[in-house]
Structure 1
Amino acid sequence: MSAHDEPLSYHVAVRSLCEFTARTGDLDHRFTPSPTAREGIAGHALVAERRGDDYQSEVPLSGEYGPLSVGGRADGYDPATNCLEEVKTYRGSLERMGGNQRALHWAQVKVYGALLCRERELSEVTLALVYLDIATGRETRLTEQVTAEELQAFFIEQCQRFLAWAEQEASHRQQRDSALRELRFPHPEFRYGQRPLAEAVYKAASTGRHLMVQAPTGIGKTLGTLFPMLTAMPRQQLDRGFFLTMKTPGRRLALEALTTLGVAREGEKGALPLRVLELLARDKACEHPDKACHGEACPLASGFYDRLPMARQAAVDRGGLLDRMALREVALEHDICPYYLGQELARWCDLVVGDVNHYFDVSAMLFALTQANAWRVAVLVDEAHDLVERARGMYSASLDQQRTNTLHRQAPPALGKPLGRVARRWRELLGDVDPGESGSRKSPAYRVLDEPPRRMLNALQQASSAITDYLGEHPTGELAELQAFLFEALHLCRLAERFGEHSLFDVARHGRGRAVLTLRNVIPADFLAPRLAASQATVLFSATLSPAHYYRDLLGLPVDAPWIEVDSPFASHQLDVRTQRAISTRFRHRETSVGPIVATLAEQYRRTPGNYLAFFSSFAYLEAVLGRFRAEYSDIVAWAQTRGMREDERQAFIDAFVPGGRGIGFAVLGGAFAEGIDLPGERLIGAFIATLGMPPFNAVNEQLKARMQARFGRGYDYTYHYPGLTKVVQAAGRVIRGPEDRGVVVLMDDRFTRSEVKALLPSWWCLEEHEGEKASTATSTSRE
């Protein structure tokens, strides 16, 4: 719904209207997964092709009931037979579709029928639900002859059910916009750099442009971006705002900033009538992780849609900050699922705080809602330097041979044949079986495929259909592995439909029966650009967001998208940055570098005792230096990051950095402790960085480099140089967190003295070169 046209005029899409008024019964996701949007479009086109020449597709229809305007596009109308069709694509067995889902579909086609009869002055019409099996192309057609009078009565009933809510929402919108017009900055003055940041964000929202901002830690970027976005909402008629983060701490900071701006917590009456939703992943919000999401298994899914209206009303009446605890409290008061209540409230909240995947992922809900409701949205992306790798992960998929074979052996008899077909395709793919030729051949340990493996993808589609049917018929039992395989297989197949130069297919062998097939996205821009285009303005901000052309190219930003750098509030005298040019951390020099690194750690610690972080390129490198350090300097306290740390172990590592403490924490660059943690004052007085942070020179990264070179002409920089230096600057940024902090950063590699490397380090740093103890004679190569 959008209420920014006229004070007393409300608009709602037909689908949104029916989802609000016509959904009843249980929450049930057994009739899933549904076809992708692309599959749905192809299915609708197929149905239209089968109809006559006079058949009309995507018929725009609209009508009014009092102040309520209802509109949308009907899938198809055949004037020759006077038949209006609603087409639904599906996979699996149609008999498993719930009655409440079918009722929703009938409601939609009836509303369209009412609008059609009114617009074309028809006395009656044939309504048809057309269910198209996406796998076989078979249609199941349900029809009903209905008079215009009956349809008009149904239309009025739906509008009356929705009208009170629409009036409430429009009133809320007026109150919200009025309050935001008067919103004032919550502190007497801006921090250094915060005002130009806020002005740039406001200008971007006002002019409908995307913006990249490189702003140092410590100026209050979260408040400095949220405040101008909120003030721009009424002036630019923005319907929604999304604050997207990479990690949980970013969400917490955003929620804290919003309470500072006046958003109420815990149901208290606040000065700002703003609904803020914290959107969580399912595993974080689920009350019964051991139960399936349907009414027969989970008590919070049983009767979900019958109790949803009261829970939804209670949530919006409460308003303010609907964070994890508030959402859970409202949901459990009404005996419904907190996760799916949150999914519903995303439609009705002014600002959503959540992970970047909620807008940028393949099936991102916030992006889908934005398109379906034609919202005008502003998007803020925190720690945006991480979006390149996060997006690559979103648009990549893999299939594990060992897992497939294990599932085949353990699967029920009904699935033996389709899973066996997948196993055979594995052998073909790897060359263990060569169809059409005698004998066998072996493929190399790693290779890139010239084209998508069509036979494997077809086998996966067939197996997915079989598993979907089986899960529908067997809703209980040990099915977790089957479900996991199903979603992984479908994800791979769906991404394969959009295969292009932005991605590659590769196969890696890790031993007999242990290969992995990967569809690897290397250039996320092609997927992200449509999501950026759907927003009125997107602001991507981070302490490390340079060079600008790298992020424009890989994130799909327009070539004219502005990039600004906010001056740092820190002075060079606060941070002593030293380079050890006699140390090389190149792989071939690792062994000889251990001694000089250990000596450098001890020397700095003796000079200025306190808490330090030491970063290394890998756990193996970390462990080699740590072992030597403990052997030679056992009197200096040292603790280390380990592989696969649990959440409580990570917290214990951070808690070791106490004010006034003394010791060195060893960590991996790019890991959990290299960014996103805050250790102000004496909790951390220095950092050692024994690496340029570059990804390893392996077959995968060399393929990525080739793709980058072909597309952008900057293969080495885009694959190795820029990502590595971004990690270095992020890690060094742990040291100075506020205007009173003082500290030291020791960069241990001779390459830090090169001009092209220095150019990517913060401008306020003042590098001081130290010879140190000679470690090795470093020679430059084209791969350094």
Structure 2
Amino acid sequence: MNAQPQERPACAVKNLDQRPDDLEQGPEAAARRPKSIAPEPDSIVRGPARSSGESTSPIQACEDHPTPAAAYTIAVRALCEFGARRGDLDLRFTPAPSAREGIAGHAWVRSQRGAGYQAEVALSGSFRHLRVRGRADGYDPARNRLEEIKTYRGDLRHMPENHRHLHWAQALTYAHLMCERQGLARIEVALVYFDIAARRETVLAETHEAAELRRRFEALCSSFLDWSEQELAHRARRDAALARLSFPYPGFREGQRPLAVAVYNAARAGLCLGAQAPTGIGKTIGTLFPLLKAAPAQGLDKIFFLTAKTPGRALALQALQRIEAAQDAPVLRVLELQARDKACEHPDKACHGESCPLAQGFYDRLPQARAQALQGTRLDRPALRAVAAQHQVCPYYLGQDLMRWCDVAVGDFNYYFDLHAPLYRLAQDYEWRVGVLVDEAHNLLERARGMYTAQLHRSQLAAARRAAPAAARRALDAVARRWNALCADQTEAYEARDELPAAFIAALQRAVGVLSDEQDANPRSADSALLRFYFDALHFLQLAELYDRAHSVWDVSLAAPGAAGTAARGQEGATVRGQSALCIRNLIPAPFLAERYAAAHTCTLFSATLTPWAYYADTLGLPAQAAWVDVASPFKAEQLQVRIARHISTRYRHRQASLAPVVELMAQQYRARPGNYLAFLSSFDYLGQLAGLFRQLHPDIPAWEQAPSMNEAERLAFLENFTDQGQGIGFAVLGGAFAEGVDLPGRRLIGAFIATLGLPQINPVNEEIMRRMDAAFGRGYDYAYLYPGLRKVVQAAGRIIRGHDDQGVLYLIDDRYDRAQVRGLLPPWWRVEPMQAPRAASENRARA
């Protein structure tokens, strides 16, 4: 093992940990402020001043407008989406091209134009006190033609009418703005649809009089004016309330204040912040409150609170409710973001008006549903469902629309960090200034790897082929042949390769094009297996465009070692070599995540386990100037007895021999102090063996086990065993549902046994991760195995001590815990005591 790394230096932000005078706010704040913390001079580095001309919101005060009334600015796209969408919600049309494909498509169209062609023309205009602005895709002065370019896949004839209606609304709005700027009496307006696969343009052109375009523009603006005034009034009330915001408790918990100050100052300085803070101090409200407090001065349009798991989302909603309850009147619109499969009212129906009644006429009923939803401030799942039911609209897509109008959005990591993240896309489209909070940020590495990984299984291809019509079957056969060629010479179960296979990628692109045409021509007849392969192939191709060996690996996995040598002849007339899988596997998500941090005004990643900081800074792509705060634990060493069972090895080769001594250790501790305990094991297999032996030898001690794939009710039943009066031992897997995000204060949990170091399995994928980490950062083993393992250990141990009055015991069961490097990664407030090994055990250990 390597020595402990030198930490990346903290950022150069001056006085990041100083307490700003206005953090608590209000005359009552000074009275309740602990006397031990005196006011500090206002010497904190502030964020960049906001210019009056900077567009950051779809609705924004415009200070330089010449009229005496307040003026509002909105993007052309936002105006048209608000007022020009009509008809059904319809998702049958082929998914839009990727951002890179769209940019390339626009560039290709522009390359076909003459020398005088103007691209990305900035335009603006006003109606009463509404200011509209945007960038037209292109204008040809020689032909007096304004163009709106749309890239697409598939058959244009099957584009839903409401999509085209929206596209025309945008084109005609830009045409009016161009007539106003150039003083034109008429103009030709063209919708240019560009097929990215066939590289073919379809041009729909019309000539419009300037007077007619003005009438259209004014009607569209009129439909928005009342709403814009309402929204700006809401923004003014919101910012005034946040400026007066006071902490909703009599005082901060110990450790909560420095966390809050760091978040506040990072927002003022416009920085990214990494914050390690112990469990039990109230990190959720300790990060939300200061960012809300900073929002008015920093001009934040939105705050995104992102979590890895459902309990974190619930805690955030509760904290926001508490903050609101402490104020004069609720003003924050808080939106809970749900996954589509959980919000869907008709999972057996497709998302279009001919199938789902909530999609039929969705955009016609959306304005009324939106208006009613925003009469309240709590936009959680029950509230959205109630409004959606009243107006007969889809609750999921109602929530998607309300992203534009909420103040705080609470949802999963993927809503901002995923390849197609809607919050990130909207923030870019509408130029919002956002503050992002990332809860339990230690989970972001694995989650982000999954977001930027794409895998195709041979069984999926076979299932898609069986369901495909004749034309698509031939295209899939070509993919199968290229797939066979990739596996032909492979003898190992796993192989990482240097370059993407161009021939296979080309065959897959052709197959996707054919499947797209089939889907457009027969939208009702698509088989689920065919659709699944189609969407997985699209994702695969999108990541193929972004592939770089610096952050990802292209690998081929066979069913088992030697499987490449056993070929079977299938009905497809092609050689099938096992159940192979092709994968573009992301290992270092840093380059992708860095774009997300850069798009936010401030971003705070917080967790109880962000050590070593350099590991997270490197792998998560945090900027070099990011700040870092490590909040000292408010807990005392006397509260937690930490004992290392160094006479036991839980290595795989010693697993069987470890069962009896681990069982006896657990039984001895339980009989010495009966109560509730958790035992964390490395796998379900080890868990089953240990729990079985424990029951056999100690049948009088209650025991219950975590099972694989437990549903929400089963997880709740597991936790219900942990009562204040309960006694027994719960067996769980380290890193699973009960190892973090679980709050069992007081007598509900008095101890834990961790019989593993938590290291990831040694397998070809993890070995490749180690090689890549070593090449990128020089710390391959630590980055691939040691740090991820110890993070899980510390997270699980954090279930024991949740408050100042809690007392407990922790057993770290493995001789490797006694190594200096491993102990150096444990929380500094722990007082670790190695156990004396029984003589017989130490002799057996030496022989092993």
TM-score band w.r.t. shorter chain: over 0.9
1:326 alignment partner, one of 351, 370, 383: 383
- State yes or no: 1:272 paired with 2:272: no
- Alpha-carbon distance between aligned partners in 1 of 2:682 and 2:704, rounded to the nearest angstrom: 17
Residue deviations 1:53-104 (CA, integer Å, cap 9, x gap): 2111111111122221111111111112111111101111100111111111
Deviates more, 1:214-223 or 1:642-651: 642-651
Name the counterpart of 2:8: none
Q: 1:178 aligns with which of 240, 264, 269?
A: 240
* Secondary structure of 1:544's aligned partner: coil
Change (3 A) 1:775 1:342: farther
Paired with 1:131 and 1:608, the residues of 2 have a C-alpha distance of: 73
CA distance in 2, matches of 1:777, 1:548: 39
**CA RMSD across the alignment:** 1.7
Match of 2:91 in 1: 29
Query: 2:472, 2:515 within 8 Å by CA — same for their partners in 1?
Result: yes
* 1:409 to partner: Cα distance: 2.2
Deviates more, 1:621-630 or 1:217-226: 621-630
Which position in structure 1 is the counterpart of 2:660? 595
Partner SS, residue 324 of structure 2: coil
Residue 211 of structure 1: CA displacement?
A: 0.6
Structure 1 position 516, deviation (Å) = 1.1
- Residue of structure 1 aligned with 2:817, choices 752, 762, 765: 752
* Structure-to-structure mapping, 1:296-695, within 5 angstroms: 296-318=354-376, 320-431=377-488, 441-477=489-525, 479-500=527-548, 501-511=550-560, 512-695=577-760
Per-residue CA deviation, residues 514-573 of structure 1 (Å, 9 max, x unaligned), is 111111100010000010000000011111111111111111111221111112121111
Q: Distance in 1 between matches of 2:776 and 2:824?
A: 24
The whole-number CA distance in structure 1 between the counterparts of 2:92 and 2:796 is 45
Deviation at 1:455, TM superposition (A): 2.2
Question: Residue 122 of structure 2 aligns to a residue in which SS?
Answer: strand
Does the aligned pair in 2 maintain the 1:570–1:739 contact within 8 Å? yes
Deviates most, 453-462 or 612-621: 453-462
**Structure 1 stretch 354-363 or stretch 567-576: which is displaced more?**
567-576
Contact 1:36 1:494 in 2 (8 A): yes
Alpha-carbon distance, 1:727 to partner:
0.3
Kindly state the Cα deviation for residue 689 of structure 1 after the two structures are TM-superposed. 0.5
CA distance in 2, matches of 1:77, 1:260: 53
TM-score of the two chains, using structure 2 as the length reference:
0.88
Structure 1 moving runs of 4+ over 4 Å: 775-779
Match of 1:46 in 2: 108
8 Å CA contact 2:460–2:529 kept in 1: the answer is: no
1:660 and 1:45 map into 2 onto residues whose CA distance is 69
Higher mean alpha-carbon deviation, 617-626 vs 327-336, is at: 617-626
Equivalent position of 2:347 in the other structure: 289
> How far apart, CA to CA, are the structure 1 residues paired with 2:696 and 2:542?
53
Residue deviations 1:575-622, cap 9 Å, x none? 111101111112222222222211211111111111111111111222
Asked if the contact 2:59–2:228 (Cα under 8 Å) also holds between the matched residues in 1, the reply is no
Distance apart, 1:451 and its partner CA: 0.8
- In the alignment, the residues of structure 1 paired with residue 177 and residue 427 of structure 2 have an alpha-carbon distance, to the nearest angstrom, of 24
Alignment of structure 1 residues 151-190 onto 2, 5 Å? 151-190=213-252
Counterparts of 1:60 and 1:596, CA distance in 2 = 74
Aligned residues: 766
Whether 1:221 and 2:283 are equivalent positions in the alignment is yes
Letter in 1 for 2:687: L
Displacement of 1:628 in angstroms is 1.9
Cα deviation code 1:104-132 (max 9, x no counterpart): 11110111111111112222211111111
Q: Equivalent residue for 2:53?
A: none
> Following the alignment from structure 1 to structure 2, what is the Cα–Cα distance between the partners of residues 4 and 624?
66
Q: Shift of the alpha carbon at 1:276?
A: 0.6
Give unmatched runs, 5+ long, in structure 1.
432-440, 780-784
Structure 1 residue 442: Cα displacement: 4.5
Residue equivalent to 2:197: 135
Conserved? CA contact 2:465–2:530, under 8 Å: no
SS of 1:317's equivalent? coil
Which residue is 1:236 aligned to? 298
- 1:477-512 superposed Cα distances (whole Å, 9 cap, x missing partner): 562222221111111110110000200011111154
Q: Matches of 2:613 and 2:540 in 1, distance apart?
A: 32
- Tell me, in whole angstroms, the C-alpha distance in 1 between the residues paired with 2:755 and 2:400: 44
Q: Within 2, Cα distance between the matches of 1:263 and 1:457?
A: 56
Instruction: Give CA-to-partner distance per residue, 1:618-656, whole Å, 9 cap, x none.
Output: 112222222222222222221111222222222221112
Matches of 2:835 and 2:649, distance apart in 1: 13
Verify the 8 A CA contact 1:402 1:513 in the aligned structure 2.
no
The letter of the residue matching 1:506 is D
Structure 2 Cα separation of the partners of residues 683 and 413 of structure 1: 62
**Are positions 1:116 and 2:181 aligned together?**
no
Please say if residues 59 and 76 of structure 1, whose CA atoms lie closer than 8 Å, have aligned partners that are also in contact: yes
CA contact (8 A) 1:593 1:776 kept: no
| One-letter identity of the residue aligned with 1:373 | Y
SS in 2 for 1:549: helix
Q: In the alignment, residue 487 of structure 1 is paired with which amino acid?
A: F
Q: Which amino acid aligns with 1:95?
A: R
Q: CA deviation at 1:403?
A: 2.1
Deviates more, 1:96-105 or 1:446-455: 446-455
Paired with 2:525 and 2:210, the residues of 1 have a C-alpha distance of 48
Which residue identity lines up with residue 325 of structure 1 in the other structure?
Answer: P
How far apart in 2 are the matches of 1:770 and 1:732? Answer: 18
Higher alpha-carbon deviation: 705-714 or 655-664? 655-664
For the residues of structure 2 that align with 1:222 and 1:646, how far apart are their CA atoms?
26
5+ residue gaps, structure 2: 1-57, 64-68, 561-576
CA contact (8 A) 1:263 1:273 kept: no
1:99 is the counterpart of 2:145? no
Shift of 1:776: 7.6
Output the CA distance in 2 between the equivalents of 1:510 and 1:634.
41
Alpha-carbon distance, 1:775 to partner: 6.2
Query: How far apart, in 1, do the equivalents of 2:845 and 2:154 lie?
Result: 61
Q: Cα deviations across residues 331-386 of structure 1 (Å, max 9, x unaligned)?
A: 11101000000000000001101111000000000001111111110001100010
| Residue 728 (structure 1) aligned with residue 793 (structure 2) | yes
Identity, in percent, stands at 57
Whether the aligned pair in 1 keeps the contact of 2:60 and 2:74 (CA below 8 Å) is: no
Instruction: Name the SS for the 1:163 alignment partner.
Output: helix
| C-alpha contact (below 8 Å) 1:694/1:725 kept by paired residues | yes
CA apart distance, 1:2: 3.5
Matched residue type, 1:296: E
| Separation in 2, partners of 1:497, 1:4 | 40
SS of residue paired to 1:591? helix
The one-letter code matched in structure 2 to 1:122 is: L
- 8 Å Cα contact 1:584-1:775 kept in structure 2: no
Cα shift readout 1:221-263 (whole Å, capped 9, x = no counterpart)? 1111111111111111111101111111111101111111126
Give 3-state SS (helix, strand or coil) of 1:262's partner: helix
Deviations 1:449-490 (A, max 9, x none): 221122222222222222223233333356222222111111
1:435 corresponding residue in structure 2:
none
More off after superposition, 10-19 vs 465-474:
465-474
CA contact (8 A) 2:551 2:586 kept: yes
